[in-house]
Amino acid sequence: MTTPQIVIHDAITGETITRDYNASELAQAKADKIAQDQAAADATASANARQAVLKKLGITADEAKLLLS
């Protein structure tokens, strides 16, 4: 696996620098990826639980919205 790179553009000088992530940026990128994966897993679990409740009640999502509005 290659090290991710960051591109820095200096608007004043017009200089563009491309460099590898430093240790801090790499650790933050890994933490962000873990948080993103956890959020996706939580959203999936929530959607599955919601669907299970609707199935138990024998109604559709649209019918539930009508009942709760």
First to last CA, the chain: 51
Could you read off the pLDDT of 11-31 as tens digits, one per residue?
999 999 999 999 999 999 999
DSSP class of residue 20 equals E
Could you tell me the pTM of the whole model? Answer: 0.66
pLDDT at 26: 94
Locate all alpha helices (DSSP H) within the chain, ordered by sequence. 23-57, 61-68
The percentage of residues in the chain with a pLDDT greater than 70, rounded to a whole number, is: 99
pLDDT at 10: 94
| Residue 62 pLDDT class (50, 70, 90 cuts) | very high
